[in-house]
Amino acid sequence: MRPAVRCFGLAAPLLLAASVAHGIEQGEPRSGIAFASPETRAMQADDTANPGLFWVLDGEQLWAKREGAAQKSCGDCHGAASASMKGIAARYPAFDDKTGQAVDLTGRINLCRTRHQQATPLPHEGKEMLALTAFVGFQSRGLPMAPPADPRLAPARAQGEALFTQRMGQLDLSCANCHEANWQGRLGGSPITQGQSNAYPLYRLEWQGLGSLQRRMRACMVGVRAEPFDYGAPEFVALEAFLATRAKGLPVETPGVRP
C-alpha cells in the first residue's frame, strides 16, 4: 500500500511565487524543534513525556541481546553504549572501507549484524531497527552534529547535494525549493522548517510512532508526487551525508518529537 499523500502540494507553487527567497545564512542552521509549538517542545524536552524514550528503552535491551549464529550481542564487542556510542550518531553517515561506500547508522547496524553476529539484516523501518538507532542516537544527545572530514565521503555528499537541489515529481519541486529558499514560510498552516537531520529517528505525532529520516524523505517525495527511493537506497544515504554537513553544529536531539 502506498503511503497517504498529503494534500499540501497544491499550495506550493503559489507560495513560491509569492515569497522572497531566503537562503540559510552560513553558520545559522536552525533545528526543526525551533519551529514546533511550545507543547511539542515541552514534550521533547521531558523524558517522562517523550514517547521516543520507549524505543530507546527497547534498544537498550536489544543492545544486550545475543543474536545470530555467532551468538554475540552488540555489547559483547562494543561494551557499554554510554561510553562506546557517545558521539557516534553525530558523525554518521560514515565511509565503510569494505564496501567502499558511505553507510548510515541503519546500514552500519545491518553490516554489524551480517559480518559479526552472522544474523539476518533487520528491516529498515521495523521496530527493532528503530529501537537500535534511537538507542545509539540517544547516546549522542546534546552533542553537536560533527560530520567527519573524510575526503572519501565527498562523492556521496556531492551526489546528495545534487539530489537536494534537483527538481522532481509532478509538482517539479526540489528539497531546496522549500527547505532552503522558503524555510521561513508556512505551507498549509504548518511551518516549512530547514529540513535539518539532527533529531532522527524521531517521534512524529502524525505517525503516532518513531520514524527514520528516510521515512521523512519518502513522505516529502510522495508529497511532490515523485517516486520515492527504496529504503536504504544509495541515493538516500547520499542525501543523509549531505544533510549531515548542512546540520553541522546543531545538537543531536534523538529521539526528537515533531508534529
Partner 1 sequence: MPRTLINVPKTAKAGEIVEVRAMIAHPMETGQRMGVNGAMIPRDIVNRFVCTYGSEVVFAADLWPAVSANPFLSFSLRAKEAGVITFSWTEDSGAVHVATADITVT
- Cα(203)–Cα(51) distance, integer angstroms: 7
User: Which positions ≥6 away from 193 have C-beta within 8 Å?
Assistant: 30, 32, 35, 179, 183
Interface pick for partner 1 out of 31, 58, 103, 138 (rule CB under 8 A): 58
Interface pick for partner 1 out of 53, 146, 162, 168 (rule CB under 8 A): 53
Asked if 60 is part of the footprint of partner 1 (rule: CB under 8 A), the reply reads no
Min dist CB 255 to partner 1, Å, is 12
Asked if 5 is part of the footprint of partner 1 (rule: CB under 8 A), the reply reads no
257-258, strands of its sheet edge to edge: 209-211, 202-204, 257-258
**Of residues 33-52, those binding partner 1 (CB under 8 A):** 48-49, 51
Interface pick for partner 1 out of 143, 146, 171, 205 (rule CB under 8 A): 205
- Cα(110)–Cα(99) distance, integer angstroms: 13
CA distances from 26 to 30, 96, 189, 221, 229 (A): 11, 29, 27, 26, 30
Residues forming beta bridges with residue 186, ordered by sequence position: 191
Min dist CB 61 to partner 1, Å, is 10
Is 220 one of the annotated active-site residues of the chain?
yes
* Active-site position among 220, 221, 239, 252: 220
Asked if 64 is part of the footprint of partner 1 (rule: CB under 8 A), the reply reads no
> Is 74 marked as a binding-site residue?
yes
Q: Identify which range of 16-24, 54-62, 90-98, 112-120 contacts partner 1 by CB under 8 A.
A: 54-62
Collapsing DSSP to helix, strand or coil, 103 comes out as: strand
Residues that bind partner 1 (CB under 8 A): 1, 48-49, 51, 53-54, 57-58, 205, 208-209
